[in-house]
Amino acid sequence: MEFGFTEEDEAFRSEARDWLAAHVGSTVHRRTWERTLGRAGWIGLGWPEPGYGNRTAGLTQQVVWAEEYARSKAPPRSGHIGENLLAPTLVAHGTDRQKSRFLPPIAAGEELWCQGYSEPDAGSDLAAVRTAAVREGAYYRISGQKIWTSLAHEADWCFVLARTDPAARRHRGLSFLLVPMDQPGRVEVRPIRQLTGTSDFNEVFFDGARARVEHVVGEEGQGWRVAMSLLGFERGVSTLAQQIGFAAELAGIVETAIESAAVRDPVLRARLVRQWAELRTMRWNALRTLGGTGDPGAPSVAKLLWANWHQRLGELAVQARGAGAAVGPADWSAPSPYEIDADQHLFLFSRADTVYGGSDQIQRTIIAERVLGLPGEPKGAV
């Protein structure tokens, strides 16, 4: 499927506008939106291989699509994990049979994925995972717990990092398994209630869940290599699209500061100007590293930059409102669940920015060891 705009695309635009008018902001209909994107061929633009129902697009074209999607304020994507993390990993490490089985449903928006990496005792220290996978004939039997699993409550499948060799230490003896989520009694998803009152993250419990042997990506015991390869795909075009959203949030805060007269405060004005300047710098850095593969510190630098910038933006959002930021849009009296507005949501949710996706401490350790060549941090017996 070639990249370009056709009469079918014009029909898609019309359908998208109608859908957005009816359902924007509704998480219930996000799967429907994924299928709409899939039918139009807009999933998988950046995949290194065409032929799975996806269009092929150059890097510049991918940037244009991602930025225009963000500018249009289209719904949050439910298929990001499958499209941008698992799919490139399957292209790099999967068998032809695995690619033929899993890539077309991702491109069609029919199957959604979540990432089974972090555990209660193995968050940033991913090599310490304890979830076990025992081979029984044509299947693996999986037991253990994952946590902070984004969109697990919507996902059809989960790619799980599990220990298939209990005698091995640390990153040795791990395997990368593709596990169906629809296994009643064997897979349980428990939403984690956040400060915002929403539940985007989940605990996932595997109690004898089954995964086919043919659904091991890479060889058994090579899960660490595959998992690290996947983490390398987390940067890229999506970073620039993210910054479009950041710019919209900053513009809204500036408008609020003007309306509330908080902008008269020279300290606040200076902070707003600094946020604007730093956002421009992040964009230039993202453009500089876009498509690069030889800089092991680039993803960590980018994460440190945007996470701390966004957290400071959340603080500015409530500072620009003054005392009014402590008042919600609705009565917070029990037993009704409290409601918060966009500024309050930004402030509360951004507290987690410096933790999820690899904490600041871990990102600095990666830069120190892999870029600066400093001595490695002791991690116990290997």
Q: What residues contact 134, with CB distance under 8 A and at least 6 apart? A: 140, 141, 143, 164
Query: Rounded CA gap, 152 and 14, in Å?
Result: 31
**What residues does 163 pair with on adjacent strands?**
132, 174
Which stretches of the chain score pLDDT less than 70? 1-28, 123-124, 232-236, 291-294, 332-337, 379-382
Number of C-beta neighbours around residue 275 at 10 A: 20
Stated pTM of the model:
0.82
Query: Rounded CA gap, 263 and 330, in Å?
Result: 27
Number of C-beta neighbours around residue 139 at 10 A: 16
At 8 the pLDDT is: 60
280, 284, 260, 263: which is closest to 272 by C-alpha?
263
Cβ atoms 187, 209 nearer than 8 A: yes
At 12 the pLDDT is: 53
Query: Rounded CA gap, 311 and 211, in Å?
Result: 39
Can you read off the two tokens belonging to residue 356? 């999820």
Q: Catalytic positions, please?
A: 234
At 20 the pLDDT is: 47
User: What values do phi and psi take at 315, rounded to 5?
Assistant: -65, -40
pLDDT digits (tens, 9 = 90+) for 340-362: 888 999 999 999 899 887 788 88
**What residues does 145 pair with on adjacent strands?**
205
Q: Is the peptide bond before 335 cis (omega within 30 degrees of 0)?
A: yes
Cβ atoms 202, 190 nearer than 8 A: yes
Q: What is the 3-state secondary structure (H, E, C) of 332-381?
A: CCCCCCCCCCHHHHHHHHHHHCCCCCCCHHHHHHHHHHHHCCCCCCCCCC
At 335 the pLDDT is: 57
* Identity at 166, one-letter amino acid code: P
Query: Rounded CA gap, 43 and 377, in Å?
Result: 40
Cβ atoms 192, 162 nearer than 8 A: no
At 359 the pLDDT is: 84
Report the relative pairing of strands 157-163 and 113-116 from DSSP bridges.
parallel
**What residues does 161 pair with on adjacent strands?**
176
Cβ atoms 185, 97 nearer than 8 A: no
